[in-house]
């Protein structure tokens, strides 16, 4: 399967108040409760498309994704959504300095959302960030490394997934 490589930066346009440059009609804003169905849809579609090598993701139903989002992700994460023309197309979920989730709808891959969310997270958590991703998620790994994240540990995700993962850290440069 070919790797996705995205070398494009986020589209330039008006300056977003959070310091993330976005194209007209593209907005990154805090999550609102009525965003939940759209965020769940993005998470489900993106996970199934990105993790074709993970049977647990391929078996995950939209209904179960909604249950997990409402019971686990929404209550404990600070969530930001990316919208295009008012439609939610991406999201970032932070727990302190930990990037818990970052998903982009497959139709929006390689359009700069990942870079925009990483830049936002770095502005929100200037002391540093941490995250885990699957070792086979080459596009995500390339994105994180492009933005200064360093792989610090390799391991395996907990059951039932049990897939190889890599832990990344980003620390601001000391001058």
Each residue's pLDDT tens digit, 119-169: 999 999 999 999 999 999 999 999 999 999 999 999 999 888 889 999 999
Q: Is the pLDDT of residue 13 over 90?
A: no
What's the CA gap between 28 and 75, in Å, rounded?
20
Residue by residue, DSSP assigns 85-130 as TTEEEEEEEEETTEEEEEEE-GGGTTSSHHHHHHHHHHHH-TT-EE
> For the chain, what is the mean pLDDT?
87
- The pTM of the full predicted model, rounded to 2 decimals, is 0.85
Q: Is the pLDDT of residue 5 over 80?
A: no
């Amino acid at each position: 399967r070919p790797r996705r490589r995205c070398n494009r930066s986020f589209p330039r346009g008006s300056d977003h108040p959070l310091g993330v440059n976005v194209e007209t009609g593209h907005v990154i804003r805090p999550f609102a409760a009525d965003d939940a169905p759209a965020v769940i849809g993005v998470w489900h579609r993106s996970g199934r498309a990105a993790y074709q090598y993970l049977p647990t993701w391929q078996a995950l139903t939209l209904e179960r994704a909604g249950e997990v989002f409402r019971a686990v992700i929404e209550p404990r994460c600070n969530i930001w959504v990316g919208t295009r023309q008012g439609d939610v197309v991406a999201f970032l979920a932070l727990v302190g300095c930990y990037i818990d989730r970052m998903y982009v709808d497959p139709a929006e891959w390689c359009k700069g959302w990942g870079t925009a969310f990483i830049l936002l997270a770095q502005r929100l958590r200037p002391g540093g960030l941490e995250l885990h991703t699957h070792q086979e998620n080459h596009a995500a790994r390339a994105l994180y490394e492009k933005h200064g994240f360093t792989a610090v540990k390799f391991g395996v995700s907990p059951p039932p997934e049990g897939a190889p993962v890599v832990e990344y850290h980003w620390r601001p440069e000391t001058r």
